Structure 1
Amino acid sequence: MVRTVNEAAHTQRRNAILDAAEHAVITKGYEQMAIADILNDLQISSGAFYHYFDSKPALLLALVERMGDEIEQVVLPIVHDPEPGALEKLQRFFAALDQWKFTHKRLILAYLPVWYGDENAIVRNKLYKARIKRLAPWLEEIIQQGSRTGVFTAPYPDQTARLIISLLEDIGYAATELLLAEKLSPEDMQRLQRILFAATDALERLLGAPSGCLQPASLEGLEQWVTTQADS
């Protein structure tokens, strides 16, 4: 019983630090955020902070991992739902991801400048491998279901799942380059939309799915991201 209480208190304190860090990232930006800001916000000692995180990059890594845990809670019920067909599951899977990102867009936009910086390449690579480990089995399960029912024709579901995640990673690089620009022209917006249309087409081809079955992001949706970035 004592151990259970201690573990709960440990988790609560760790989450409190992450909550404070997340707020600081959104309001100040990761580069401007200092560990002292978190200490002052929570009225804790530096020793208490370093008991949970040994550095600022470790704190960033934990924040992104927590985002992954939250996304998992959103998409796993979709993956394991026995009722929908594979195509509907995949559509709901991507829609849930998009909705989660849009709900947390200020946090995501605050991460982008540092996340895609060269100085965080090692951390980014670690998390890419973690995403493969976490996401690939879920996608593989949906792809296998689609292959059994004839909706998809991908002969290697496991590798197709990995390729989809790699494609999404590449889209992230391309989209971030444009979203972080000081000012986007109408041509840049059209370029961003073409990237997403091309990615959607590539996803359908990887799956051997019917053309047009996946819905790319609309120009209006992209403009909402750009507006948020300009106002932040």
Structure 2
Amino acid sequence: MARTVKPEEYAAKRREILNATQRLVLSKGYEQISIQDILKEVQISSGAFHHYFDSRRALLEAFVEQIKQEFEKPLLPIIHDPHLSASQKLQGFFDTLDRLRTAHKADVIKLGLIWYSDANALVRVKVEEAIFEQRAAFITEIVKQGIQEGSFTTTYPDKAGEATLSLLQGMGNAHAKLLLSLDQGADEKHVIEEIVRTHHAYMDAVERVLGVRENTLYRVNAEAVKFWVAAIRDKDAV
């Protein structure tokens, strides 16, 4: 007789497997993980694992979807707040992402150190594609509100989210590479200056894409960057 599993128990065990996968991705890299590693981490059999995921591909798809849902939760209250203007929502969108990165500094650094390795090339592409689609839709919704309010003047509102996210991903990758270059002996002062300049340049480009007033969006300063430089320096202690 087939074993009956309650829906809540099934969901809980599935999350446990996905959480174990996330821990292994952070410590080893996706390409270095075997199904056996996951079985050992969760202490289940191969048969039990395949009750929840019929393949490694299915596990990857579920892993990406879980990350997507986690990234969505803190942003939805801002997007759906009827009392915020489009400009307030846009800045709130960026502020929320900054607060989350700061609050989870240790995880962000750990992820950054392995995220750009070959061991995570596939999962990185999958996650970035999913997050791109999700956040582009959020920004497009904000842009359409801004056009109705008269504060945004972009010619292509349906593409504004995609264009903005392309710029933000480019900026994020540039920042990460600059910070990680510190481990290769890069000059700290130069790295800080380049991160500040890069942030200002990309924010200027985002404002132009959206057709908002200059300096509508926050520009990072050297003191804020030093927080992350110090975190990189102290990564072994966090």
TM bucket (normalised to shorter chain) is: 0.7 to 0.9
1:79 maps to 2:79 = yes
Which of 198, 213, 216 is 1:195 aligned to? 198
2:107 equivalent in structure 1: 107
Q: Is the 8 A contact 2:68 2:130 kept in 1?
A: no
1:180 match: secondary structure = helix
Q: Report the AA paired with residue 160 of structure 1.
A: A
1:212 maps to 2:196 = no
> Deviations 1:66-98 (Å, cap 9, x if unpaired)?
232122111111111111111011111111111
Q: Given the superposition, is the C-alpha separation of residues 103 and 40 from structure 1 closer, same or farther in structure 2, using an over 3 Å criterion?
A: same
Could you state the TM-score of these two structures normalised by the residue count of structure 1? 0.82
1:150 equivalent in structure 2: 150
Could you state the TM-score of these two structures normalised by the residue count of structure 2? 0.81
2:133 equivalent in structure 1: 133
Q: Report the AA paired with residue 161 of structure 1.
A: G
Structure 1 alignment gaps of length 5 or more = none
Distance 1:218 1:60 in 2: 37
Q: What is the CA-CA distance between 1:9 and the residue it aligns to? A: 1.8
Q: Is the 8 A contact 2:137 2:161 kept in 1?
A: yes
Q: Given the superposition, is the C-alpha separation of residues 47 and 70 from structure 1 closer, same or farther in structure 2, using an over 3 Å criterion?
A: same
CA RMSD of aligned residues (A): 2.8
> Deviations 1:196-220 (Å, cap 9, x if unpaired)?
1111111111111111111022322
Distance 1:172 1:51 in 2: 38
> Deviations 1:152-180 (Å, cap 9, x if unpaired)?
11121111110011111111221121122
1:98 maps to 2:98 = yes
Identity across the alignment (%): 38
Aligned length: 227
1:229 maps to 2:238 = no
Q: Given the superposition, is the C-alpha separation of residues 103 and 179 from structure 1 closer, same or farther in structure 2, using an over 3 Å criterion?
A: same
Q: Is the 8 A contact 1:61 1:123 kept in 2?
A: no
Structure 2 alignment gaps of length 5 or more = none
Distance 1:129 1:33 in 2: 21
Distance 1:45 1:151 in 2: 57
Q: Is the 8 A contact 2:140 2:161 kept in 1?
A: yes
Q: Given the superposition, is the C-alpha separation of residues 153 and 70 from structure 1 closer, same or farther in structure 2, using an over 3 Å criterion?
A: same
1:186 maps to 2:185 = no
1:66 maps to 2:92 = no
1:30 maps to 2:5 = no
Q: Is the 8 A contact 1:85 1:146 kept in 2?
A: yes
Q: What is the CA-CA distance between 1:223 and the residue it aligns to? A: 2.1
